[in-house]
């Protein structure tokens, strides 16, 4: 019973205020009933043969009328019980993955599931986990070496991106800036409020436009860039200047820079970015109700018919 009461509500509760008018209406109509037209001078004789009931026919009919009025008002307030409720929250952004596909990404110096794999294979595994965890996000992919390659437009197909990355054949050169401009082209027409680019490279920019110019252009377009440098332990000192460049790129757009030297660190960084880049874009609550007003309306109709029938037959007044 308590659960039923907790799920009970009115669709139009303001209608219930009409109930407050009923006492005023009753007061205004008090004693103003239809008076019988039959007159008799010797009322003492009538008293001798009749007794006035405490609850006479007139009061019964009036009570039925007020009850009908109450039922109609409550029915108009749309009483209902909640049958089920489903709250949905959606999180989504548009993401451009800008990936280095130069020959150095073929270095087999990462360990994945106990096996030695290339940097590109480790990246593919991290990207797979990343997109599978974001079914509400559109994600596109750009590959860069000496040139830029559109690997995938923005899509919700989480299985497509890792598969296309597996088919990539590494090319010579490392045009990080050009890859970033390709990512901007992918995102610039997006209507989403939040747009993010993740740039991954294991080397320094050696051709094309400057990554800093691309970062400034992205900032003007409202695109946030996170950068990820893949650097093995033995390369940490040698790659210091390249890593500093990637830090500048991310800081220019309000993003963050990360460094990965193994597969677990690479996967962990993508999980961290996944948590950072969640923004609520929609919240809806769907509620299914069982309407009760028709039962009140039917009851009011039946009582109204009873009142009408009694008032015009066995409980009718002598005119």
59-68, 185-194, 207-216, 285-294: the lowest-pLDDT one: 285-294
Query: Higher pLDDT residue, 52 or 162?
Result: 162
Neighbours of 61 (CB within 10 A): 18
Asked if residue 187 and residue 64 are part of one domain, the reply reads no
Return d(Cα 221, Cα 188) in angstroms, integer: 7
Q: For the chain, give the number of residues.
A: 319
Mean of all residue pLDDT scores within the chain: 80
pLDDT, position 281 = 47
pLDDT, position 285 = 58
Domain count of the chain? 2
**Residue 82 φ then ψ, to 5°:** -80, 125
80-84, 151-155, 172-176, 178-182: the lowest-pLDDT one: 80-84
Q: Would you say 202 and 100 are in contact if contact means Cβ atoms under 8 Å apart?
A: yes
Asked if residue 260 and residue 167 are part of one domain, the reply reads yes
Helices 176-187 and 211-220, axial angle in degrees (round to 10): 20
* pLDDT over 60 at 284, yes or no: no
Asked if residue 272 and residue 164 are part of one domain, the reply reads yes
Asked if residue 211 and residue 152 are part of one domain, the reply reads yes
How confident is residue 54, by pLDDT bands cut at 50, 70 and 90?
low
Asked if residue 132 and residue 70 are part of one domain, the reply reads no
Return d(Cα 104, Cα 117) in angstroms, integer: 13
Q: Would you say 79 and 10 are in contact if contact means Cβ atoms under 8 Å apart?
A: yes
pLDDT, position 87 = 56
Q: Phi/psi class of residue 34: alpha, beta or left (left: φ > 0; alpha: ψ in -120 to 50)?
A: beta
pLDDT, position 2 = 54
Most trustworthy range by pLDDT among 82-86, 161-165, 188-192, 217-221 = 217-221
Asked if residue 49 and residue 108 are part of one domain, the reply reads no
Q: What is the pLDDT of residues 247-277, one digit of tens each?
A: 999 999 999 998 888 788 888 888 888 887 7
Does some domain include residue 317?
A: no
pLDDT, position 317 = 58
Residue 175's domain spans which residues?
89-280
Residue 83, helix vs strand vs coil:
strand
CATH of the domain at 203: 3.40.50.410
Tokens 């309000």 — which residue? 254
Asked if residue 173 and residue 51 are part of one domain, the reply reads no
pLDDT, position 289 = 73
pLDDT, position 233 = 66
Asked if residue 203 and residue 181 are part of one domain, the reply reads yes
Does some domain include residue 307?
A: yes
pLDDT, position 295 = 85
* pLDDT over 80 at 12, yes or no: yes
Q: Average pLDDT for residues 203-209, to the nearest whole number?
A: 87
* pLDDT over 60 at 130, yes or no: yes
Q: Average pLDDT for residues 152-178, to the nearest whole number?
A: 89
Query: Higher pLDDT residue, 40 or 195?
Result: 195
* pLDDT over 80 at 52, yes or no: no
Asked if residue 271 and residue 164 are part of one domain, the reply reads yes
Q: What is the pLDDT of residues 91-118, one digit of tens each?
A: 568 999 999 999 989 988 888 888 889 9
């Amino acid at each position: 019973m308590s659960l039923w009461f907790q799920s009970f509500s009115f669709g139009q509760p303001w209608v219930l205020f009409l109930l407050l008018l009923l006492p005023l209406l009753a007061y205004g109509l008090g004693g103003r009933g239809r008076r019988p037209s039959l007159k008799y001078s010797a009322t003492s004789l009538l008293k001798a043969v009749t007794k006035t009931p405490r609850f006479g026919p007139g009061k019964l009919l009036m009570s039925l009328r007020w009850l009908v009025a109450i039922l109609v008002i409550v029915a108009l307030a749309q009483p209902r019980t909640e049958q089920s409720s489903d709250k949905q929250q959606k999180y989504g952004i548009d993401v451009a993955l800008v990936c280095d596909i130069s020959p150095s990404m073929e270095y087999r110096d990462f360990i994945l599931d106990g096996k030695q794999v290339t940097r590109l294979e480790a990246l593919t595994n991290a990207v797979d986990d990343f997109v599978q965890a974001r079914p509400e996000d559109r994600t596109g992919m750009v590959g860069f070496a000496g040139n830029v390659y559109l690997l995938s437009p923005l899509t919700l197909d989480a299985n497509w991106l890792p598969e296309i990355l597996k088919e990539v054949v590494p090319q010579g050169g490392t045009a990080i800036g050009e890859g970033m401009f390709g990512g901007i082209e992918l995102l610039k027409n997006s209507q989403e409020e939040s747009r993010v680019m993740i740039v991954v490279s294991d080397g320094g920019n050696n051709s094309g436009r400057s990554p800093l110019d691309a970062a400034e252009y992205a900032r003007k377009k409202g695109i946030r860039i996170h950068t990820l440098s893949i650097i093995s332990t033995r390369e940490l000192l040698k790659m210091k200047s390249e890593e500093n460049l990637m830090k500048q790129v991310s800081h220019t757009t309000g993003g963050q820079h990360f460094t990965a030297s193994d597969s677990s660190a690479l996967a962990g960084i993508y999980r961290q970015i996944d948590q950072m880049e969640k923004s609520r874009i929609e919240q809806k609550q769907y509620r299914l109700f069982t309407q009760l007003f028709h039962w009140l309306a039917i009851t009011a109709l039946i009582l109204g018919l009873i009142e009408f029938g009694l008032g015009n037959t066995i409980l009718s007044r002598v005119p």
